[in-house]
Amino acid sequence: MLLIHCPYCEDSLPELEFTYAGEAHIARPADPSALSDEEWRDFLFIRTNARGPHYERWRHIGCGRFFNAIRDTVSDRFLTTYKAGEPRRPLTNEAAE
Amino acid sequence: MMTSQKHDFAAAAIRIEDAAPALRLSLRVKPAHRDAVGRALGLDLPARVGQRAQAGDIQALCLGPDEWLIAAPEGAPLADAARAVYADAPHSLVDISDREITLRLSGPAVLDLLAACCPRNLAAMAVGSAARTVFDSATVILWRDGPADFRMDVWRSFAPHVRSLLAQAQAEIAAGL
Ligand SMILES: [Zn+2]
């Protein structure tokens, strides 16, 4: 079974305790009314659809927390996980190994 | 020799009992106010997910960075104690006593029983800790009270499903499967 490291529980736990929650680091517009239709469409629907490392959100049922992960969409390997609200982690060689 | 071992093993391998109804409170409070609320409840609220604290017959379990489950005998006056510090330490304290039932699972084969539907490595779970995890598709809280002694809090509506799975796994283990 795939083990996912929860940054809040500080433990690697079975994937069945986790739920995928979409791409990470998509900030809700501060003033939605000011957006054009195209900008609103991009915010709601347009995603990177990465082949390879992908920034995404997951939720752990154990602690009830959302967190961020970089997962390789080809190998399904989790390269790293970090707490919600932290800035986007750079793709270091260490993480990509 | 294997046969006799298997037979002994199955004899009292697993016990499944209903625990008495209890007071259950869901506490949400920011870390800055954790100690104040803990003091009011007479508990040293643990900060690490999965850790427990106990004072008399009141138990606290850290479920998340800002979430605790408090278990106590029915009628314990904890809400009044917490209300007294609410102005200085805002928090949410919700009575969820009837949301769940508690099953007591014990016996030498209890880890096999739980492994039937729980993906966690429960053999590695420390005695005296607890965790929110899943049993089949149902969210449960497992308290490890001893090496072969667990409590399982299950949402009432999931209980028939969990009970039937436990009974099936129990029968399979008793049959030596
Ligand atoms: Zn967690």
In a domain, B2, yes or no: no
pLDDT band at A97 (very low <50, low <70, confident <90, very high): very low
Q: For the residues of B53-86, what is the DSSP string, one character each?
A: EEETTEEEEEEETTEEEEEE-TT--HHHHHHTTT
In a domain, B1, yes or no: no
Check whether residue B103 and residue B139 sit in a common domain. Answer: yes
Nearest CA in chain B to A2: B119
A-facing residues of B in 94-123 (CB < 8 A) are 119-120
Check whether residue B63 and residue B114 sit in a common domain. Answer: no
Collect all residues with Cβ–Cβ distance below 8 Å to A77 and sequence separation of at least 6: A71
Give the closest of A8, A61, A64 to B134, CB-based: A61
pLDDT band at A75 (very low <50, low <70, confident <90, very high): very high
Q: Tell me, yes or no, if B50 comes closer than 8 A to chain A by beta carbon.
A: yes
CB atoms near residue B149 (< 10 Å):
15
Check whether residue B46 and residue B63 sit in a common domain. Answer: yes
* Tokens found for residue A47: 């995603």
Check whether residue B111 and residue B48 sit in a common domain. Answer: no
Collect all residues with Cβ–Cβ distance below 8 Å to A97 and sequence separation of at least 6: none
Please report residues of B whose CB lies closer than 8 A to that of A8.
49, 64-65
pLDDT band at A56 (very low <50, low <70, confident <90, very high): very high
Residue B122 maps to which CATH number? 3.30.1360.120
Check if the beta carbon of residue A24 is closer than 8 Å to that of residue A68.
yes
CA torsion angle for B104, B108, B113, B118 (degrees, to 10)?
80
In a domain, B132, yes or no: yes
Q: Say if pTM beats, i.e. exceeds, 0.80.
A: yes
A1 CA: distance to closest CA in chain B (Å): 8
Q: What is the pLDDT of residue B177?
A: 80
Span from the CA of A10 to the centroid of ligand 1 (angstroms): 7
Phi then psi for B122, rounded to 5 degrees? -75, -20
Q: Tell me, yes or no, if A84 comes closer than 8 A to chain B by beta carbon.
A: no
Q: What is the pLDDT of residue B128?
A: 98
Q: What is the pLDDT of residue B10?
A: 45
Span from the CA of A9 to the centroid of ligand 1 (angstroms): 4
Q: Give the C-alpha separation, B4 to B120, whole Å.
A: 30
Q: Give the C-alpha separation, B14 to B38, whole Å.
A: 36
Contact A61 B133 (CB under 8 A): yes
Check whether residue B85 and residue B109 sit in a common domain. Answer: no
Q: Which candidate, A49, A28, A51, places its Cα nearest to that of A40? A: A28
Please report residues of A whose CB lies closer than 8 A to that of B48.
10
B-facing residues of A in 12-41 (CB < 8 A) are 13-17
Check whether residue B118 and residue B167 sit in a common domain. Answer: yes
Query: In total, how many domains does chain B have?
Result: 2
Check whether residue B120 and residue B153 sit in a common domain. Answer: yes
Check whether residue B75 and residue B116 sit in a common domain. Answer: no
Span from the CA of B67 to the centroid of ligand 1 (angstroms): 12
Please report residues of B whose CB lies closer than 8 A to that of A65.
64-65
Check if the beta carbon of residue B68 is closer than 8 Å to that of residue B27.
yes
The last residue of one of the domains, among B95, B117, B144, is B95
Residue B41 maps to which CATH number? 3.30.70.1520
Check whether residue B117 and residue B162 sit in a common domain. Answer: yes
Collect all residues with Cβ–Cβ distance below 8 Å to B6 and sequence separation of at least 6: B176
Check if the beta carbon of residue B150 is closer than 8 Å to that of residue B105.
yes
In chain B, count of helices (H) and strands (E)?
Answer: 5, 10
The whole domain housing B32 covers: 23-95
Q: Is B104 helix (H, G, I), strand (E, B) or coil?
A: strand
The last residue of one of the domains, among B95, B129, B144, is B95
Q: Write down the mean pLDDT value for chain B.
A: 93
Q: Which CATH class is domain A3-27+43-95?
A: alpha beta
* Tokens found for residue B30: 């920011």
pLDDT band at A53 (very low <50, low <70, confident <90, very high): very high
Q: Which candidate, B51, B53, B52, places its Cα nearest to that of B42? A: B53
Contact A62 B67 (CB under 8 A): no
